Structure 1
Amino acid sequence: MRLDPRHHLLDRTPARDWTDAYPIGNGHLGAMVFGDPQQDRLQVNDAGVWRGRPDPRSLPAGAAAAVLEAREAALRGDVQAADAATRRTQSGNAQMYQPFLDLRIHRSTGGSPPAPSARMLDLRNGWAITIAEQLRAVTGVSMADDVLLDRRALGSPTDLALSVSSPHEQSVAARTASHPGAVVLVEALRVGASVDPDAGGDDAVRTPGSFTESVHASWALELRSDGTASADLAAPAPSIRVHGATWVELRLVSATQFAADGTLRVPDAAALEAEVLDHLHRLAPLGHAELATRAEEAHRELYERVDLDLAAPSGPTPSPYRDRSPAAMPTTAQRLDDLRADPEHADGPDLVALLAHMGRYLLISGGVGEGPPLNLQGIWNESTAPPWFSDYTININTEMNYWPSGPGQLPEVLPVLRTWLELLSRQGERVAREVYGARGWTAHHNSDRWGFAAPVGDGQDRPQWSFWPLGGAWLTSTLVDLLRFTPEGPSPAAALAEGAARFVLDLLIELPDGTLGTAPSTSPENQFVLPDGTAGEVHVSTTSDLAIIRQLLTDLLEISRTTEVEEELLELAEAALSRLPGERVLPSGLIAEWSDDELTDLDPHHRHQSHLIGVYPGTGLDPRRDPALGQAARSSLVERGFESTGWSLAWRICLAARLEDAELGHRFLQRALHRVDADGTDPVTGGISGGVYSSLLCAHPPFQIDGNFGALAGVCEMLLQSHRVQDGHRELSLLPALPAAWSTGRARGLGARGGAVVDLGWTPQRVELAVHLPSGDPSADDYVVELDGAMHPLPTPEHGVARLSLTRTTGQDPHLPGRTGR
């Protein structure tokens, strides 16, 4: 077996901690594979297993009056009174995403426990693989057949014990198998509601008193082997015992009661049990080899759409680890440590490619299929009280989860997001009406699979992470932009955009200078300092509020060109856009985050850079159109620093790329690749640090998956940008932030807005380009190519593909004067 350092993760010891295990999944079922040859663990999740139910949540009496009181206080500068008033709008907490079950596989070896000679994650084929003495275990989750597959070749006859446990109340039974000699277990599981849907507190959980206040879930497990197998249902963990086997195969399927849109899909646990047993029965005629082939083909169809090679073998510094055996390849952790010790290490470009490919792997494994959208941990979680509830934090993290779906050519993840946003908008209409007296819909800082839309908290939470009514607007603009990468464009988001626009238009107020603004207003999770030294969180018209509103209203006008939108709404949007202030530059040369220049940041290195939303993912602050504003944005980004949480570093990569600062983006990338231990400790400095774990999962710390997706989006943005439209032509900006370390390379299959797909190959002298135009009525006239500041029309396509060979230039960057070019 030969490994590709861009597509394989490698370790030589079992995962000691959860974050060292390897993730597998198909968007519905997920598992973390620990790879222990003697006592293995598969920690399994079902994306539908959440606490709570889709029942409407109560809103606090007097919330609308509290908003008006907070507005008056903010306008007169009384930040303490504004803070106190916004707390009276809080309505409990979002619910928690839950673990599902644990499979533990004990192998009797009769001697010292064998260590794995290799533990690998094969990104291209979707398998976690463990190789040890007398063992080859291959585990994955099939997108084609919605089943977790595990096959263990044991060499000589071996005894095994497989146990199944869950942190939730479950009832396990044995059932007759369709396959001779197989053993089938089936389970009915219930997940308790919160202690009080309207109460706060991190420990708001309880054991359910009846099925009616629980989420139903069910799993069925089939074991096949050439040994003798029998079920043992005795407490505490039901198990299957196998004697004298040389191979064992597992098939696990699962189902939950509720559909992605929050409706009741099936009535009870009995219906779920019948469903999972029928699922196994339908798979029974298929052997493991056929199921594995179907799983690989479904995974590779998505995964192989894109490939990155940032250190092509023909380049000046070839990668040192291409085409090596597992024994000759350094572990992923060692590669990360080597790059940190030597930032010029020749493996650096391949590690960046591996990080990007890992992002696409996780987006496929966690985001494709039916179910709720990707939460803070994707679909992987082992804790009943996970960090930040493993819910949806929609002031950046949920948006970041989906940023790479367009450039990474994975539109399959968008229907789930759109379905959930429609649920969120229905809940948000009530919040808009009863809390703000507004039309349309809104959502705040946190949500869950049930569409919670109100300010979180029980009257005690800080406004900086509770009161922020722009969540619906930002999520809608995110969906609109990602739909631009599809041939149909943003029209499917029209209804969501209209509702979100109605809300923000009603939210805006006229300020004394005649402009429009927001009050009360916060900048997500950040604080300011008043001239007297007092810290505050609630003010008037933060830069992020205005940037999000500007983007949403601009999106609505674009949608109206192809989809009918109410004329009065369009007139109001156009009038509001003409009165919205743009970003301001402070005397310090930085972009202002607050509307009052006397306010300063409590933490200049804060993890959020919400005042730069107009740079990325927005388009309102364009460094080409306004170089001075672009330079202020760059200074603001540098001011935030190079030490932060993993996801924040990923956002900074994207911002640097959009600012077309190649070396700044590369520096953030290398910083994001710092390895941290499972407890978040930096092994070099000893402090708590953001970065990645040895599994390449993003370390906030703790684990948050959004950093993996943000890093992928940033790498794509460094290679290709398509957000500008010039005289009706979509601009394809080639290699806008290409660092010197990637002087020769290839990128195949990058998505561009308008539905085109771009293949790139480059050297220091030339760029070879192939643009695959969208099907239907492709026209090269729809696009113009930009390279090093020069514009080039696309030639006439042949068979839907336009090819172009361009000479590269060097020198000063034409867009940000005074900075060395690409």
Structure 2
Amino acid sequence: MKKILILFLLLGNVVYAQQPLRLWYQQPAARWEEALPVGNGRLGAMVYGRPGNEILQINEESVWAGNKFNDANPNAYKVLDTIRRLLFANKNDEALAIAQPNFVAVDGENSTQIARNFRSNQTLMNVNIRYGFTDYTGYHRELNIENGISTTRFTVNGVEYKQEVLASAPNNVIVVRITASKPASIDAFISLDRPAPRDTSSRCIDCKVTAAGNNQLVLNGQINDLEGKEKRGPAGLHMRFAGMLQATPTGGAIQAKEGGLQVKNANAVTLYIQGATNYNAVKQDVDPGASIALNKCKQLLQQAALRSYAQIQAAHVKDFEAVMKKVKLQIGEVAEDATPTDERLQQVKKGHEDPHLVALYFQYGRYLLLSSSRRPGVLPANLQGIWNQHLDAPWNADFHTNINLQMNYWPAEVTNLSQTTAPLFDFMDYIRPQGRITAKKMYNARGWVVHHCTDAFGKTGVQASAAWGTFPMAASWMCLHFWEHYAFTLDYNFLKTRAYPIMKEHALFVEDFLVKSPEGYLVSSPGSSPENRFVHPVTGKPAGLTYGPTMDSQILREFLSKCIAAANLLRTDSADAARWQQIITQLPPTRTGKDGRILEWIHEYEEAEPGHRHISHLFGLHPGTQITEQSPSLFEGALKTLTGRLSKGGGHTGWSRAWIINFYARLKQADSVRNHLQALLAKSTLPNLFDNHPPFQIDGNFGGTAGIAEALLQSHGDYVEVLPTLPAAWANGSVTGLCARGGFELDISWKDGVLSGLVLRSTTGRNIVLKYRQHLLPLSIEKGKEVVVPVHQLL
């Protein structure tokens, strides 16, 4: 039987256990979606684990095609009033006909309309290790998500080979350690390459691999963006990038040969892998200079290579485990981890229920967020986190701000990963200068704005289609993440110096953008309900461009309420707060239609796609806080909305299914949480547990993790509710380290579906009201203290 490590933690009178945190397989990865990810926020690698021709596909977060320019269409404001009049007169087609050429992003150099949005995030390179083994036994491949190390083992002719791969944040490098059980047994040929472009949108010049001495390989190049069939911004020579590898053998010999490095008769080999670009995160632009990327890469490699693998590994494990061990989740009894991960997933796809796989999926989401959004990285997690094998990725592997970027960070605060938000907050701060230009150009408004997606260069215009790209409330939604960070941490300085300034500045845009509708409301116009359309009551045709969609009004209500709360806490801007309150009172209310469902638009229209993947009009349920048990008609309406959407095929993408889990958690529908988690695994999860949109898109992983947390702990109301939506199938279990708003950490255990243990820690000294089922328990706890809560008072 395989040996397993089971973790036990004694707190109060409760013993907390956790299954081993690993993904493991009995065969190498046949394709990218089976490879295993490691990352340090800046560098990422997908490890195939192949004994013959090993591949490590390498990403550096800032490798992007395209360049910096403001893409706001200067014609927008000239036609804004006309578009609004047409929309108010139900002439949506005419409004769209004017909006499409005058709203969609333009080339910053000559104002030529871009037929599609900006260019793509790109892979950096592949590291190829040709071991050459075809016959091997005892194969084992795993990813330990608690310490962030990917390990491959196999035996050839009685010699056991082991390959370990990690991406170190403390030493800012990817390191590979290859060892053998017998001296002088390692022969390998190591090379670098980069995939050739499959289209005409982007090429690479001077993209070649050279040897530096006998133990280094250097990939150096510059992205050459071409016109192509789809105009996606100015063509030309743009970002420079570099990748390097240094091989340090123990024993044996190494020499540069045939464009690579040949290692012979080594006892062990350490590979240091590095990458860099000339990207400047503060400017969201590239720095001029032909050697910047290469020099940066050399310097980073030189610093890392001063340390042995043992030193780098020790620092990495200490750093990584300290974060991952903050939260432990066990569902059901501890059992032996005897079935490979892909086989367990296949069993789930056949209908088997696997609570341990649910717990692993939860922790995997935490692992992926920590690995793709942290220092030394400077960019937030994109649509693929930090792992992208393409030069022209699906949806550009960009930052979609009409839910996807937001969903990436839903688990950040509640699952004790608050530090992962730093790149997101910096990115949104740095985007403001472009957002100000766009607000002025397009709407003659103060403040700043961004629409439905952006890239590393901070584009803020309307991308691709006015019908679904016109979503200026994306900025309002992004601002709410700043507030959430404060709500969980109560970091007053963060609220004063980071959150409130960006929120207040965007509130200026909101004030100038909203207009009075024929119904007498203040509404967003033009706007859209993300990527969805309704059947126009006059023309009978699908229409997307509209005014006052429900999601916009819900976001605005949430955003302005938080602006008021922040101003009150900071004891400032009372006149602004009063004005914001007046706006809130004039926003369209969330309403239900004839069948009791929440209306998605300001009027009750027929749905063009009744099973659409976006369920935007339930923003007020989650992540918003407006639809609760205290608003019973809307609460019931939200449930009917979900039932209706799902009956028509909704939830068919991974991220959409993940959002549905969060909806049902808020609705206290435990069986539905369980069923949709099962569906997320069975229908939208790849062999390496990546989320499948399809294709791969990482937000489903993050949304799924957040949904599991939401079932176990909620704190968006006036109390902290434990086990609000516990599925019956999770009858026994425990979780430690979940965070609640107000600066609290909780350890919770339950038995036979009933709360059995509760430990509470406070980082702020705030009072708390705990809720379990229908029981409330007010408590006072000192800052920095821990208390074992008398559970009988909640039963």
**Considering the TM-score relative to the shorter chain, is it more than 0.5?**
yes
Note closer, same or farther for the CA distance 1:215–1:116 as it changes in structure 2 (3 Å cut). farther
SS in 2 for 1:160: strand
Residue from 713, 733, 739 that aligns with 1:745: 733
Taking the TM superposition and a 5 Å limit, the aligned residue runs for 1:383-782 are 383-457=390-464, 461=465, 463-488=466-491, 490-491=495-496, 492-531=498-537, 533-563=540-570, 565-597=572-604, 599-622=605-628, 624-641=629-646, 643-674=651-682, 690-725=683-718, 731-763=719-751, 764-774=753-763, 778-779=765-766, 782=767
Q: 1:336 aligns with which of 345, 358, 362?
A: 345
**Deviation of the 1:617 alpha carbon:** 0.5
258, 272, 286: which is aligned to 2:307?
A: 286
Between the aligned partners of 2:249 and 2:569, the Cα distance in structure 1 is 55
What do residues 275-308 of structure 1 show as CA deviations (whole Å, max 9, x unaligned)?
3333333334422112111111111111111111
Q: Is the 8 A contact 2:272 2:305 kept in 1?
A: no
Structure 2 match to 1:215: 240
SS state at 2:187 partner: strand
Q: Is the 8 A contact 2:242 2:297 kept in 1?
A: no
Deviations 1:22-58 (A, max 9, x none): 110000000100111111100000001111233x324
Please name the residue that 1:158 is paired with. 186
Q: Which amino acid aligns with 1:139?
A: V
- 1:568 deviates by 3.7
Query: How far, CA to CA, are the matches of 1:465 and 1:513 in structure 2?
Result: 23
Select which of 163, 166, 170 maps to 1:137.
163
The one of 770, 788, 791 aligned to 1:803: 788
- Measure the CA separation in 2 of the matches of 1:595 and 1:73: 15
Query: Residue 143 of structure 2 is aligned with which of 121, 138, 148?
Result: 121
Aligned-residue offset at 1:799: 5.8
Shift in Å, 1:632: 0.7
Instruction: State whether residues 77 and 442 of structure 2, in contact with CA within 8 Å, keep that contact through their aligned partners in structure 1.
Output: yes
* Cα offsets for 1:114-146 (capped at 9, x unmatched): 366211111011011111113211111011101
Find the aligned partners of 2:244 and 2:482 in 1 and give their Cα distance. Answer: 33
DSSP-derived class of the 1:673 partner: helix
**Equivalent position amino acid for 1:805 in 2:** P
Q: Does 1:2 align with 2:10?
A: no
8 Å CA contact 1:30, 1:380 repeated in 2: yes
Distance 1:639 1:482, change over 3 A: farther
Is structure 2 residue 185 aligned with structure 1 residue 184? no
1:228-267 superposed Cα distances (whole Å, 9 cap, x missing partner): 11113x5xxx311111223221111222222322356865
3-state secondary structure, aligned to 1:138: strand
Deviation at 1:604, TM superposition (A): 1.3
Note the 1:239-254 alignment, pairs <5 A: 239-254=260-275
**Match 1:259 to one of 276, 280, 285:** 280
Match of 1:100 in 2: 124
Q: 1:186-211: CA deviations, max 9, x gaps?
A: 33332234649xx9557x796x55xx
Contact 2:164 2:178 in 1 (8 A): yes
Aligned sequence identity (%): 29
Post-superposition offset of 1:60: 3.1
1:231 matched residue in structure 2: 256
SS at match of 2:414: coil
Equivalent position of 2:211 in the other structure: 174
CA distance in 1, matches of 2:321, 2:606: 50
Match of 2:769 among 770, 784, 795: 784
In structure 2, what residue type is equivalent to 1:257? N
SS at match of 1:497: helix
Q: Deviations over 1:50-91 (max 9, x none)?
A: 11233x324334211232222111100011112212212111
Distance 1:100 1:712 in 2: 29
Q: CA separation of 1:215/1:551 partners in 2, compared to 1, >3 Å: closer, same or farther?
A: farther
Alignment of 1:312-331 (within 5 A): 312-313=333-334, 321-322=335-336, 324=337, 329-331=338-340
Query: Within 2, Cα distance between the matches of 1:449 and 1:485?
Result: 28
Indicate conservation of the 8 Å contact 2:473/2:555, yes or no: yes
Q: Which of 377, 400, 404 lines up with 2:384 in the alignment?
A: 377
8 Å CA contact retained: 2:72, 2:460: no
Can you list the C-alpha shifts for 1:556-581, whole angstroms capped at 9, x where unaligned?
Answer: 01111233553443222011011112
Q: Tell me, in whole angstroms, the C-alpha distance in 1 between the residues paired with 2:50 and 2:84.
A: 58
For the residues of structure 1 that align with 2:486 and 2:150, how far apart are their CA atoms?
32
Please state how far the C-alpha of 1:6 moved relative to its aligned partner.
Answer: 5.1
Structure 2 regions of 5+ residues with no counterpart?
Answer: 7-18, 106-113, 196-203
Provide, for residues 489-519 of structure 1, a one-character-per-residue CA deviation record: whole Å limited to 9, x for no partner. 5442111111221112222111233222122
Q: Output the CA distance in 2 between the equivalents of 1:482 and 1:83.
A: 38
Task: Answer whether contact 1:216 1:269 (CA < 8 A) is retained.
Answer: no
In the alignment, the residues of structure 2 paired with residue 190 and residue 773 of structure 1 have an alpha-carbon distance, to the nearest angstrom, of 50
User: Would you say the 8 A contact 1:423–1:450 is kept in 2?
Assistant: no
Give the conservation status (yes or no) of the 8 Å contact 1:216–1:268: no
**Residues 535 and 27 of structure 1: CA distance in aligned 2, closer, same or farther (over 3 Å):** same
- Give secondary structure in 1 for the equivalent of 2:79: helix
Code of the residue aligned with 1:333 in structure 2: it is D
Give SS of 1:117's match. strand
Distance 1:121 1:525, change over 3 A: same
Out of 571-580 and 794-803, give the one that drifted further.
794-803
Find the counterpart in structure 1 of residue 73 from structure 2: 60
Contact 2:528–2:544 under 8 Å retained in 1? yes
Q: Which amino acid aligns with 2:700?
A: G
Q: Alpha-carbon deviation of 1:761?
A: 1.1
Q: How many residues align?
A: 746
Kindly state the Cα deviation for residue 374 of structure 1 after the two structures are TM-superposed: 0.8
Deviations 1:620-679 (A, max 9, x none): 222x211121011011112221641000000011111111211111111110011xxxxx
Of 358-367 and 531-540, more deviation after overlay is shown by 531-540
2:273 counterpart of 1:268:
no
* 1:183–1:224 CA contact under 8 A, matched in 2: no
What is the letter of the counterpart of residue 579 of structure 2?
A: L
Contact 2:776 2:794 in 1 (8 A): no
Specify the SS of the correspondent of 1:698. Answer: coil
Paired with 2:211 and 2:349, the residues of 1 have a C-alpha distance of 52
Larger deviation, residues 84-93 vs 544-553: 84-93
**Counterpart Cα distance in 2 of 1:264 and 1:447:** 14
Two-structure CA RMSD over aligned residues (Å): 2.2
**Rounded Cα–Cα distance in structure 1 between residues aligned with 2:788 and 2:667:** 27
- TM superposition score normalised by structure 2: 0.90
CA contact (8 A) 2:768 2:780 kept: no
Query: Alpha carbons of 1:384 and 1:353: their partners in 2 closer, same or farther (altered >3 Å)?
Result: same
Question: Are the equivalent residues in 1 in contact too, given 2:149–2:164 (CA < 8 A)?
Answer: yes
TM-score (norm 1): 0.87
